[in-house]
Each structure stands twice: as structure tokens, then as C-alpha cells.
């Protein structure tokens, strides 16, 4: 967008310098600006341990995409030599965490800032995966009029219960394999005030359990690529924070849920429960539901299906 704005300004300045700013030239610039206003921006909020990313395929299809840089989620903040091979696990366990004390409110503030900035240029579709569902719900409470749609991709949507942690205690949530990460914990979360996972371990038992939980259908290469792009530290507070949306704010934003039928971290039964409870809370504004056959961490094949869904939402 900035490049397009600069280009238009340069064109107008050049025409003015030549003394030939015609009505057609001004109208052409206005038309280009109007077209930019029609372009949808997808704002992506990552789940646990993720980094800010957009979607290059959506960009190629003419949309704008941007990932929210959540507090403490910069790789430059989290990656240390102690995390490299050969690892110094004792040092890694003691390093201060940039996620110490980071809250859901902090995530929401960062997300709302991005939404405010991009909403000037056209419709905004706010997308959250996994734990990112909590963030997009509360962001919608803050700026409901700036968000065209909310999209939950295998994500938490809290209504009757307050938090993702509470939903994992339900009969539908107790089958989750998310606890597979616990053997990978490094350091004392109470001291770090964060949860630190050693994703770069070569411990076979941990890797097999994590793959079964997050991406059983992926190849080893796809799974390891996902692990090695994950940050070690995550907030200790966000998963238990109250993430319920207000009916008069979140409740009036159009919303979409992308169900993942092979999800073993947020099982399909739990996804369905959250969809049902949200619809009961706002029966006049129910979820539009899509289903993909994929695991919690989408494989490239599954993500192509998700991209197709997102593309259609912008049309």
C-alpha cells in the first residue's frame, strides 16, 4: 500500500510540474484510490509459539495480508546460542523470558493497533488460529466496527466458559493430546513466568508424541519444519485469561469457523461445542462453518484448502 501511495503521488507531482494535470488524470488517480479501498486485508494472529506471518498466496490473488507481531514473539527476542546445537540446556533453562508477564490484553492491544492501521485501506478479515482465537475475540470487543469478519481456524472461541484452559477441562477437551509438549518443557515456568519448550530436541519419544498431537498426517520434513519455525517461549497467562466476547461488540461481527477434522489438540467435538455455544449466545449472528480434513498444525496441503476458503470470503 505504501508503495502504491508513493507511486500515485509521484505521478501527480510529475503531471503538475509539466502543467498538464487534466481532469482525466485526477479521475484516474481517484479511481485507483477507490480500488485500493476495495482490497481486503487479512490480519493473521498466530497461536502459541508462533511468529507473525501473512499468506503469500492470498497476496498473489490480490489481497493484502499481514501478521500481527505479538509482544515477546520476535525470534530475535527468543533465540539464543544456548538453544542451538549442541544445546546448553542448563543455560537455556535459566535465561530470562521476553514472555514473562505478557497477558492477553497485551496481545489484544497489538492486534487492535494493526486493525486500526489497515482498516483505512479497505475491509479487514481478522484470522486467528488455535490460541489466537482468544485474541481475535477480544480484539473484536475493542473495534467491532473495523472488522468485516472474524475467522477461527481450529481456534478457541470462548462463550459459556471463560478460557481455553477451562474448555480443555470439558469432556470434549479431555481427549486433547496437547499435553504431549510437557516433556519438552525447559526451566521452571514459575520462575520464568512463561512456558519454554525445547522444540529442537532430538528426543524420539518427545518428537513422536508431538507429531501425533500436532501433525500426524504430515511428513517428517513438514513436521520438523513446523517445529523449527516455532518459538520456545509462550505466555503463562493467556490460555487461562477470560476470553469471552461481549454480545454487543464481538457478538455482532460476522464470524467464520474452519473446522479441522483431524485436530488432536482442539478435538472436533470441542470445536463443535464452541461453535454451538457461540451460536446460542448470538442466534442472530451464527457461525458460517467450513470443514477441512487436516490436523491442528495444518500441512501445506491442508493450508491450501484454508487459503481457498479465505479467498472466497473476500469476494
Averaged over successive runs of 10 residues, the pLDDT of the chain (315 residues) comes to 35 32 39 63 97 96 97 96 97 97 98 97 97 98 98 98 98 96 96 97 96 98 97 97 98 98 98 98 98 97 97 93
Per the structure block, which three cell numbers stand in for 54?
501473512
Report the C-alpha dihedral over residues 46, 124, 140, 99, rounded to 10 degrees: 30
Please tell me the distance from the alpha carbon of residue 32 to that of residue 229, in angstroms, as a whole number.
38
Quick check: 72 and 78 in contact, CB under 8 A?
A: yes
Residue 315 has a pLDDT of 78
| Residue-level pLDDT at 28 | 44
As given in the structure block, the three cell numbers for residue 255 are 464470524
Residue 12's pLDDT is 25
Q: For residues 227 and 218, what is the distance between their CA atoms, to the nearest angstrom?
A: 12
pLDDT of amino acid 36: 55
- Beta-carbon neighbour count of residue 126 at 10 Å? 31
Fold (CATH) for 40-313:
Rossmann fold (3.40.50)
Q: Where are the domains of the chain?
A: 1-37, 40-313
Amino acid at each position: 500500500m505504501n508503495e502504491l501511495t508513493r507511486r500515485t503521488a509521484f505521478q501527480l507531482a510529475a503531471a503538475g510540474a509539466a502543467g498538464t494535470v487534466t481532469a482525466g488524470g485526477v479521475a484516474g488517480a481517484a479511481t485507483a484510490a477507490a480500488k485500493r479501498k476495495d482490497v481486503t486485508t487479512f490480519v493473521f494472529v498466530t497461536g502459541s509459539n508462533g511468529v507473525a506471518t501473512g499468506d503469500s498466496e492470498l497476496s498473489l490473488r490480490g489481497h493484502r495480508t499481514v501478521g500481527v507481531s505479538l509482544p515477546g514473539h520476535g525470534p530475535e527476542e527468543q533465540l539464543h546460542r544456548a538453544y542451538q546445537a549442541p544445546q546448553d540446556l542448563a543455560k537455556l533453562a535459566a535465561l530470562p523470558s521476553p514472555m514473562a508477564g505478557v497477558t492477553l490484553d497485551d496481545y489484544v492491544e497489538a492486534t487492535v493497533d494493526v486493525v486500526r492501521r489497515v482498516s483505512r485501506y479497505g475491509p479487514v478479515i481478522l484470522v486467528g488460529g488455535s490460541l489466537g482465537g482468544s485474541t481475535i475475540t477480544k480484539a473484536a470487543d475493542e473495534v467491532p466496527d473495523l472488522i468485516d469478519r472474524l475467522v477461527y481456524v481450529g481456534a478457541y472461541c470462548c462463550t459459556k466458559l471463560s478460557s481455553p484452559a477451562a474448555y480443555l477441562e470439558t469432556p470434549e477437551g479431555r481427549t486433547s493430546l496437547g499435553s504431549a509438549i510437557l516433556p519438552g518443557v525447559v526451566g521452571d515456568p514459575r520462575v520464568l513466568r512463561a512456558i519454554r519448550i525445547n522444540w529442537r530436541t532430538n528426543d524420539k519419544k518427545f518428537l513422536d508424541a508431538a507429531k501425533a498431537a500436532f501433525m500426524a498426517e504430515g511428513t517428517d520434513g513438514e513436521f520438523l519444519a513446523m517445529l523449527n519455525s516455532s518459538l520456545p517461549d509462550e505466555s503463562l497467562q493467556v490460555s487461562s485469561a477470560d476470553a469471552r466476547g461481549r454480545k454487543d461488540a464481538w457478538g455482532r461481527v460476522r464470524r467464520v469457523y474452519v473446522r479441522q477434522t483431524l485436530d488432536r489438540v482442539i478435538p472436533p467435538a470441542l470445536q463443535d461445542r464452541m461453535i454451538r455455544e457461540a451460536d446460542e449466545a448470538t442466534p442472530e449472528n451464527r457461525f458460517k462453518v467450513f470443514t477441512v480434513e487436516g490436523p491442528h498444525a495444518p500441512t501445506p496441503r491442508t493450508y491450501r484448502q484454508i487459503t481457498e476458503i479465505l479467498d472466497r470470503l473476500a469476494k
